[in-house]
Amino acid sequence: MFDDALLDDERALTRADVVLRGLAESGSRVRMGAHEAADAIAGLAGDADHRPRAVVAAGPAARLVRAVLEPACPVPFVAWSGPGLPGWAGSLDLVVVLGAPDGPGAHAAAVEAIRRGCPLLVVTVATSPLAEVAASRWTTLVPTATADPLAAAVVAIQALAAAGLAAPFDTEEVALALDDVAIASSPFVDLGTNRAKQLASSIGDDVPLLWGGSVLAARAARRWAEGLRRASGRPALAAEADDIVAVLDASPSRDLFADPFEDPPTPAPASSLILLDDRVEAPAVRVDRGNVLGAAARHGARHDEVFAGEGGDLARYASLVATGGYTAAYLEIGLGH
76 three-state secondary structure: coil
CB 156 within 8 A of CB 144: no
**Does residue 45 register a pLDDT over 80?**
no
Q: Are 85 and 130 members of one domain? A: yes
**Residue 86 in domain:** yes
pLDDT the model gives residue 260: 56
**Residue 21 in domain:** no
136: domain CATH number is: 3.40.50.10490
pLDDT the model gives residue 253: 66
pLDDT the model gives residue 168: 85
**Residue 252 in domain:** yes
Q: Are 134 and 239 members of one domain? A: no
Q: Are 164 and 224 members of one domain? A: no
Q: Are 140 and 239 members of one domain? A: no
**Residue 48 in domain:** yes
**Residue 231 in domain:** yes
CA angle 143, 149, 153 (to 5 degrees): 65
Last residue of a domain, one of 170, 197, 219: 170
- End-to-end CA separation in angstroms for the chain: 11
What confidence category does residue 103 fall into, taking pLDDT thresholds of 50, 70 and 90? low
Residues 6 or more apart whose Cβ sits within 8 Å of residue 46: none
Q: Are 11 and 147 members of one domain? A: no
**Residue 177 in domain:** no
Average pLDDT in the chain: 90
**Residue 178 in domain:** no
Comparing 12 with 168, the larger pLDDT belongs to 12
Q: Are 205 and 75 members of one domain? A: no
Last residue of a domain, one of 123, 141, 170: 170
131 three-state secondary structure: helix
CB 291 within 8 A of CB 193: no
**Does residue 11 register a pLDDT over 70?**
yes
pLDDT the model gives residue 266: 55
Q: Are 152 and 237 members of one domain? A: no
Q: Are 11 and 33 members of one domain? A: no
Q: Are 268 and 153 members of one domain? A: no
pLDDT the model gives residue 177: 97
pLDDT tens for each residue of 151-210: 999 999 999 999 999 888 899 999 999 999 999 999 999 999 999 999 999 999 899 999
pLDDT tens for each residue of 19-38: 999 999 999 999 999 999 99
* Domain range enclosing 281: 4-16+187-334
**Does residue 145 register a pLDDT over 90?**
no
**Does residue 9 register a pLDDT over 90?**
yes
Ramachandran angles phi, psi of 258, nearest 5°: -70, 140
How many domains does one find in the chain?
2
**Does residue 48 register a pLDDT over 90?**
no
Interatomic CA distance for residues 147 and 99, integer angstroms: 7
Last residue of a domain, one of 170, 196, 231: 170
Q: Are 48 and 74 members of one domain? A: yes
pLDDT tens for each residue of 208-258: 999 999 999 999 999 999 999 999 999 999 999 999 999 998 876 655 555
Q: Are 267 and 140 members of one domain? A: no
Q: Are 153 and 231 members of one domain? A: no
**Residue 179 in domain:** no
pLDDT tens for each residue of 262-319: 655 555 678 899 999 998 889 999 999 999 999 999 988 999 999 999 899 999 999 9
pTM across the whole model = 0.91
Ramachandran angles phi, psi of 79, nearest 5°: -100, 115
